[in-house]
Structures are given as structure tokens and as C-alpha cells.
């Protein structure tokens, strides 16, 4: 029997949802990078400058995430006064709303501790405590979609971790870009600037490899058309995994997937990272340009990833109806 495939264009109507997912994940990534750089700064003081810059831009990313989701809701007061409206704690939207609400004062406090140069131990302790919360904010952006349970592309098994890794990767790229721009336009000298960018490059290399592996496993999982229920009868996947795979990799979303996510977001910055490592002496006069393009490419790929995943929500799980076995009456 032929399944009924439902399609709509709801998710392509605006930019609010994918941009909220992007900036939400970016916020978590920025905070994690800031804290890790702060901890590394205990031994290597030059990393404190990177941490300070990133700590100041993380609140901006969270504000942008809040604005995008507030206007997406259609009733901005629901976003601004979410404790009064969000009471269904079985919803990932509600859980995420509270996690973002808790993350905001923590990010602001961390930035203020940097600004007023309060005791370093207090600042670092706050940062370490905040890492799990902000990591969850990045993870939650994937849980929010996968909780729908009727969209084959929004996998509960792969999407949250893909968005978590992407949040950290884009956070690292944004941190590197902000650090590079600050020291380029403010005209400050930092002897260890190239060393910091080199370490950032190594971290980016590792995260790109992880994200590429996650993306491969994710697409392979969909292509195998996974079972809807496990051996205990528990729901694990909606129908239509193979259809979602074809829709993303061979259908109308294929150019965005291959050229945007795989090409611009992963392969191109990976090539630039290898160029920085192997031909460092040759490209030394242009090293800042190469690094800047790499960081921007990763950020663009992260945005495209969210758009492709959200657009993929137009394809719903196929509905399979059994044929009618009864006879239709021939007369009244």
C-alpha cells in the first residue's frame, strides 16, 4: 500500500526559528570557549585576553537568540514573561525557556566579573559551574526539534549532539573572529596572538572532524530507514527516514546541504586549517585574512545547517493506512 506523504511550507516562512537555534547554540559555545580560555590563562596569561573578549560578546548572542524566539512566538510578552506562560514541563520549549532564563544572569555575571576585575577564582568558579548549563542550552536546540516526534529529519538520536558540537564549533569560530578583529582594528600588539590562533585552529580541526563524523552517521542512519519502535515497543524514530535522507541530500535541499554545510561549513575551513599548518611561512603576510575567512566560513555553515534542518521539517512522517476491507453499500 502506498503511504500518504504530507508536505507543507510552514518552516520556510521566516528566519526566526533557525536563527534562534543558531544564536542559542552559539551562546553556549561562546561561554564554554570563554571559560576554557580563562582556565588555560591560569598558566598561559595571554589566553585571558581571548576569554575577556569572548565573555563580552556572549551576552549579545543570547540577546539575539531571545529576540528571534520572542518574535517567532507572535506574542512577545510570552517570551519576556515566560515563567507566567510556560508551565508545561513536559515540553522542551518550556525546559529550554527556563534554561535560557537561568543562563542569562550567569553570562552577565561572568562578563561583569571580567569588567570589574573581581577575584579571578570567583570568576573561574562561576564559569565552571555555568559550563553544564550553557552546554545544555546548545544541546537543547536539538532537543527542541527532535521532541516533535513526527518529522523524520529531526532525529532524537543524532540532532541534539550535532547541534551541541556545532554550537561549540561556531562559538570557537566567533571567538577567533572577534579576537582577530579586536587586535586588528584596535591596533594592539600581542606577542602570543599567532600562538592563540594556532591553538584555536587545532581545536577547530578536531571539532570539524567530529561534526563531519556526526553528520555522516546521521545521514547514514536516515538512509537505512530506521525502525519506528525498538524491541520493547518504545518509540524511537518517526517513519520516513529514507525519504528525509533523499530530501536533504538529493532533493531541493541538496545544494544547501552539500555546498553550504559540507562545503562551506566543514570542508573549506578544514582545507584552510591545513594550509595554515603546512604553509605557515608562505602565508604569513596573509595569515589574518586566511584565519578570518575560515572563521566566517564556519559561522556561515552553522547558520545554513540550522536552516536546512528547519526546512527539512516540511517533510512529515508518511501515514500508512490499511485498505478498506468492507464493501460499500450499493443502495440506501
When pLDDT is averaged across residues 278-297 and rounded to a whole number, the result is 88
Mean of the per-residue pLDDT values for the chain?
Answer: 85
Return the sign of the alpha-carbon dihedral for residues 117, 122, 128, 134.
negative
The C-alpha atoms of residue 306 and residue 22 are separated, in whole angstroms, by 6
**Within a domain: 117:** yes
The CATH number that applies at residue 194 is 1.20.1630.10
In the 8-state DSSP scheme, what is residue 228? Answer: S
**Within a domain: 146:** yes
Instruction: Please provide the size of the chain in residues.
Output: 332
Confidence of residue 1 (pLDDT cuts 50, 70, 90): very low
H helix intervals, 191-330 = 193-223, 241-249, 254-255, 268-278, 287-311
**Number of other CB atoms surrounding residue 134 within 10 Å:** 29
281 Cβ neighbours under 8 A, 6+ residues apart = none
Number of domains the chain is built from: 1
**Within a domain: 326:** no
User: Which of 40-49, 74-83, 297-306 bottoms out in mean pLDDT, i.e. has the lowest?
Assistant: 74-83
Cell numbers linked to 237? 524514530
The C-alpha atoms of residue 8 and residue 183 are separated, in whole angstroms, by 47
User: Are 219 and 248 a contacting pair, CB within 8 Å?
Assistant: yes
**Number of other CB atoms surrounding residue 153 within 10 Å:** 28
**Within a domain: 303:** yes
63-118 pLDDT per residue, tens: 999 888 877 766 666 656 555 556 665 666 677 777 888 899 999 999 999 999 88
Instruction: Examine the pLDDT at 261 and tell me if it is beyond 70.
Output: yes
Q: Which of the listed ranges 23-32, 241-250, 320-329 does the model predict with the highest average pLDDT?
A: 23-32
**Number of other CB atoms surrounding residue 194 within 10 Å:** 15
- Domain hosting 70: range is 10-314
The C-alpha atoms of residue 190 and residue 161 are separated, in whole angstroms, by 36
In 3D space, the residue among 132, 136, 134, 158 whose CA is nearest the CA of residue 146 turns out to be 158
**Within a domain: 320:** no
**Within a domain: 207:** yes
Cell numbers linked to 276? 595554515
139-188 pLDDT per residue, tens: 998 988 887 778 889 988 899 999 999 999 999 999 999 999 988 777 65
The C-alpha atoms of residue 183 and residue 61 are separated, in whole angstroms, by 21
22-43 pLDDT per residue, tens: 999 999 999 999 999 999 999 9
182-199 pLDDT per residue, tens: 887 776 556 678 888 889
228 Cβ neighbours under 8 A, 6+ residues apart = 235, 236, 237, 238, 239
User: Are 105 and 53 a contacting pair, CB within 8 Å?
Assistant: no
Confidence of residue 238 (pLDDT cuts 50, 70, 90): confident
Amino acid at each position: 500500500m502506498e503511504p500518504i506523504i504530507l508536505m507543507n511550507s510552514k518552516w520556510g516562512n521566516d528566519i526566526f526559528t533557525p536563527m534562534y537555534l543558531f544564536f542559542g547554540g552559539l551562546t553556549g559555545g561562546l561561554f564554554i570557549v570563554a571559560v576554557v580560555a580563562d582556565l588555560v590563562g591560569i598558566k598561559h596569561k595571554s589566553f585571558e585576553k581571548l576569554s575577556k573578549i569572548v565573555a563580552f560578546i556572549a551576552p549579545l548572542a543570547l540577546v539575539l537568540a531571545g529576540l528571534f524566539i520572542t518574535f517567532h512566538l507572535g506574542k512577545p510578552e510570552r517570551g519576556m514573561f515566560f515563567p507566567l506562560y510556560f508551565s508545561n514541563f513536559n515540553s522542551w520549549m518550556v525546559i529550554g525557556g527556563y534554561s535560557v532564563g537561568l543562563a542569562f544572569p550567569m553570562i552577565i555575571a561572568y562578563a561583569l566579573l571580567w569588567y570589574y576585575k573581581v577575584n579571578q577564582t570567583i570568576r573561574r568558579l562561576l564559569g565552571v559551574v555555568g559550563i553544564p548549563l550553557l552546554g545544555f542550552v546548545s544541546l537543547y536546540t536539538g532537543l527542541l526539534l527532535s521532541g516533535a516526534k513526527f518529522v523524520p529529519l529531526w532525529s532524537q538520536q543524532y540532532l541534539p549532539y550535532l547541534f551541541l558540537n556545532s554550537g561549540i564549533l561556531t562559538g570557537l569560530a566567533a571567538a577567533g573572529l572577534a579576537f582577530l578583529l579586536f587586535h586588528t582594528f584596535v591596533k594592539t600588539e600581542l606577542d602570543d596572538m599567532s600562538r592563540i590562533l594556532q591553538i584555536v585552529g587545532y581545536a577547530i580541526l578536531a571539532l570539524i572532524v567530529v561534526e563531519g563524523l556526526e553528520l555522516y552517521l546521521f545521514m547514514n542512519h536516515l538512509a537505512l530507514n530506521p525502525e519506528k519502535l525498538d524491541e520493547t515497543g518504545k518509540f524511537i524514530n518517526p517513519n520516513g527516514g529514507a525519504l528525509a535522507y533523499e530530501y536533504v541530500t538529493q532533493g531541493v535541499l541538496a545544494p544547501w546541504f552539500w555546498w553550504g554545510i559540507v562545503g562551506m561549513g566543514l570542508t573549506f575551513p578544514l582545507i584552510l586549517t591545513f594550509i595554515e599548518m603546512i604553509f605557515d611561512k608562505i602565508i604569513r603576510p596573509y595569515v589574518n585574512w586566511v584565519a578570518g575567512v575560515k572563521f566566517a566560513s564556519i559561522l556561515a555553515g552553522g547558520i545554513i545547517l540550522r536552516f536546512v534542518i528547519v526546512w527539512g521539517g516540511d517533510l512529515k512522517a508518511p501515514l500508512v493506512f490499511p485498505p478498506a476491507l468492507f464493501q460499500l453499500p450499493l443502495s440506501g
